[in-house]
Amino acid sequence: MYFFLMNLAILDLGSISVILPKAMANSLLNSRSISYSGCVAQVFFYVLLAGSNFAILTVMAHDRHIAICHPLQYETIMHEGACIQIAGGAWISSILYATLHTSGTFAITFCSNIINQFFCEIPQIIKLSCSDLYLIEIGILLFSSFLFGGCFIYIVITYMKIFATVLRMPSVNSRKKALSTCIPHLTVVSLFLFTGTFAYVRPPGHTSSEMNVICALIYAILPPLLNPFIYSIRNKEIKTALLKLTDFGLLLVKLG
């Protein structure tokens, strides 16, 4: 589990680093410019990291399923070599996925170079198309929806099996311990899916550029920002630090 958490932490750090530094630099310089090659790189690496993120989250559901439903076989199935191979497969497949997306996006002929977003977001780039080649990327996006939908269904089925096993456990402490390892993962998956759904599955119509930016902030910045807190909340030292920070904040409010 900690091996996959390390991968998730790297992916969260990477996805933030792809977007925020350039956005902050543009904000400080009162600019909105980005080079063509910079935009291509931003699309490629963000899709790579977001795809890898969801692949690792899907693998983590499988890891929890083996640990809880087949504990005696866990060391045999999820040994170090298997974990490295699974994580490597997630990264390699995401590289191919990002290459497909980036190629489909930048094969388009653009009528404008003004993107109504604080980073190179694929839906906003497609809106600049003045050729029918944008249909290729639309097809890739539909394929992506089925792919992510399949992973989501796998996670749901896996957790149905996990909860069925947990309910059959005779000890209350065993149930609590099993669920405590699943809740952070379920929270992160829900956050990833709900923020992405909120951003992309919206009623058709004219959406203001401000609303587009807010939606992008919710799905691109919020999950990587909250994931470390979600997975660290079970750590006693983190809990103590958060309680101290909360107490200090309440003291400042009272003094104010």
Please return the burial class of 40, using the count of CB atoms within 10 Å of its CB with bins 0-12, 13-18 and 19+: middle
* Tokens 């005696």 belong to residue: 72
Global confidence as pTM: 0.82
Q: Write out the chain's pLDDT in tens, 256 residues.
A: 778 888 888 998 898 899 888 888 888 888 888 899 999 999 999 999 989 999 999 999 999 999 898 988 988 988 889 999 999 999 999 999 999 889 888 888 888 888 888 888 888 888 888 877 767 777 887 888 888 888 889 999 999 999 999 888 888 888 888 887 788 888 888 888 887 776 666 555 555 667 777 777 878 888 888 887 777 766 666 667 667 777 666 666 565 5
8: tokens are 């998730």
Would you give the distance in Å from CA 142 to the centre of its chain? 18
Q: Determine contact, residues 99/43, Cβ cutoff 8 Å.
A: no
Instruction: Please state, in angstroms and rounded to a whole number, the distance separating the CA atoms of residues 55 and 61.
Output: 10
Q: Which amino acid is at 232?
A: S
